[in-house]
A and B are shown apart, each in its own frame.
Chain A
Amino acid sequence: MKADNTTQTPQEAELARLLVDTLNLEAVASEIDPEMPLYGEGLGLDSIDMLEISLVVSQQFGVKLRADDRDNVRIFSSLRSLNAYIQSHREL
C-alpha cells in the first residue's frame, strides 16, 4: 500500500499509538500527520520526550537510538522517518 503524504500506514499508526500512550500526549494518535516534526515545533516534544521514545523503541522493537548518530535529526524528524528507521533496524 502506498500512502499519500498525510495518511498513516498501519505501521505508522501503531507507532503513533505507542508514542501517544507512552508520552501521555493529548493528540489523537490517528490524527498525527506522519510528516509533521516530532521535536519542538510540530508535535511539540522536548528532549525528555525524545529520551522516553528512545527507551520505548528499544524495549518494543529492540532498536537502539544512539546519541552519536548524526542522522538523529533526520530519524526524529517525523513519525514517518522514525518508523522507517525502526523498520529497517528492528530485530526479526
Chain B
Amino acid sequence: MTQKLLVQEWAARRERGSLPLIKLGVWVALRLHRRVARLFLYPICIFFLASSPAAARGSRAYLARVLGRKPRLADIFSHFLTFASCVLDRVFLLNEQLDQFDIRVHGEEIVRAIEQRGGGCILLGAHFGSFEVARAVGRNHADLPISLLMYEENAKKIRAALAAINPRLATEVIGLGRMDSLISVAERLRQGHFIGVLADRNINGKDMVSYPFLGAPAKFPQGPFRVAMLLQCPVVMMVGVYRGGRTYDVFFETLAEAPESRPKDSDAWLDGIMRQYAARLEHHCREAPFNWFNFYDFWA
C-alpha cells in the first residue's frame, strides 16, 4: 500500500516500479480517511528507520547541520514521518481532494503576473516538502498548464505512477532522454506553459557547481539554470512546505525576471541565480528542517 509508494520514493536504487502494488495502495488510501491512512505511516517509518541505515545516516548528517546539534532518534523519526506524510498526501492531492488540506499560498501574484503576460516560466523546485501541493495549487487556482521535466528513467516511472494514482489527470512529464526534449520545453514555454524542474539533483550527469549550503559547499546542477538562461524566461522558485496536521505553505519566489536578451556574461548570471537558489533553499531548510527529502550525503 502506502508502504510500496514509500519504497518507490525512497531511493532510486530501490525503485522497482511495481504498478499493481501502487494501484492497490492508492485504492486503499482513497477508501480510508486520510487520518486513518496516516496511522499506517508510524509503523512504516519505524520499519524504514530500522531497515534503511543509509537513509538514516543521510538524515542524521543533514539534521546535524541544519539543527546545529546532534540529532536525536526522535528527530530522525520526525524527518522520515514528514517525508512519508508528503508521499501519502500526494495520493489525495493528485485526486484533487484539496478540501482535505489547509493550503496557504504565498506569492501567488507572481504566478498570476506571468500567466497574464504569457510566455510561461521555469518553476524550480527541490526534493524538499511537497512539489505536488504547489502543483495542485497551480491547477486548482489558475488551471495552469504545468509540465514536469525529469530524467527519462524517472519520467517513465512517474508517468506510470501518476496514471495509476489518477488516470483522469493528464500530467505532462517531459523526459530528458531525447535529443529534442528541451526543444519541446522551448515550444511549451512559448505556449505559456510552466515548466517544473527539481533543481537540487543532477539532471544531465554533468556541470555540477559548488555553493555554500548549510555551512559547507554542496554541488548543484547547472543544467536547469542554463536552460532558463537560454530560453530567457522568468525563473520562479516553488516550494511546498508541510507543517504537520493538514497544513501546507506554498511559496512562490522570483529568482530572476526574464532577461531581455542573452546575458552578456552568462557565467556571472548563472553564478548569481544558483547562489540565490542555494541560499533560498537553505532558508527554507532552516525554517522547516524536516521537509528536506534528500536522504543521502548531499555534501559528498
Which residues of A line the B interface, CB within 8 A?
Answer: 39-40, 46-48, 50-52, 54-55, 65-69, 72-73, 76
Measured CB to CB, the nearest residue on chain A to B231 is A51
Ordered by A's residue number, 28 sampled pairs between the chains whose C-beta atoms are within 8 Å are A39-B179, A46-B204, A47-B179, A47-B180, A47-B181, A47-B182, A47-B204, A48-B182, A48-B204, A48-B223, A48-B227, A50-B183, A51-B183, A51-B186, A52-B230, A54-B180, A54-B183, A65-B180, A65-B183, A67-B180, A67-B181, A67-B184, A68-B187, A72-B178, A72-B180, A72-B183, A76-B179, A76-B180
Q: Nearest-CB distance from B297 to chain A (Å)?
A: 26
Find chain B residues with CB under 8 A from A68 CB: 184, 187
Please indicate the chain A residues that have their CB under 8 angstroms from the CB of B33 in the complex. none
Neighbour of A50 across the interface among B182, B187, B206, CB < 8 A? B182
Ordered nearest first, which 4 A-B pairs have the shortest CB separation?
A67-B184, A51-B182, A67-B183, A39-B179
Residue of B whose beta carbon sits closest to that of A54: B183
Q: How far is the CB of A19 from chain B (nearest CB, A)?
A: 14
CA distance A67 to B189 in the complex (A): 13
- What residues of chain B have their CB less than 8 Å away from a CB belonging to chain A? 176, 178-187, 204, 206, 223, 226-227, 230-231
* Chain B contacts for A54, CB-based, 8 A: 180, 183, 186
- Among A39, A48, A52, A73, the most chain B Cβ lie within 10 Å of the Cβ of A48
Select from chain A the residue with minimum beta-carbon distance to B175.
Answer: A47
In the complex, the chain A residue whose C-beta lies closest to that of B183 is A67
Known A46-B204, A72-B180, A73-B179; contact A51-B230, beta-carbon cutoff 8 A:
yes
- Write out the residue numbers on chain A whose beta carbons fall within 8 Å of the beta carbon of B176: 47
In the complex, what residue of chain B is closest to A53 when comparing beta carbons? B183
Assembly CA distance A67 to B191 (angstroms): 13
In the complex the two chains form, what is the Cα distance from A46 to B206 in whole Å? 10
Distance between A3 CB and nearest chain B CB, rounded to angstroms: 25
Q: Which residue of B lies closest to A72 (CB)?
A: B180
For A40, A54, A65, which residue has the most chain B Cβ atoms within 10 angstroms? A54
Q: What's the Cα separation between A34 and B39 when bound, in Å? A: 62
Residues of B near A65 (CB, < 8 A) are 180, 183
Tell me, in angstroms, the Cα distance from A48 to B227 when the chains sit together.
7
Separation of A56 and B31 alpha carbons in the complex (Å): 53
A77's closest neighbor in chain B, by CB? Answer: B179
Q: B266's closest neighbor in chain A, by CB?
A: A24
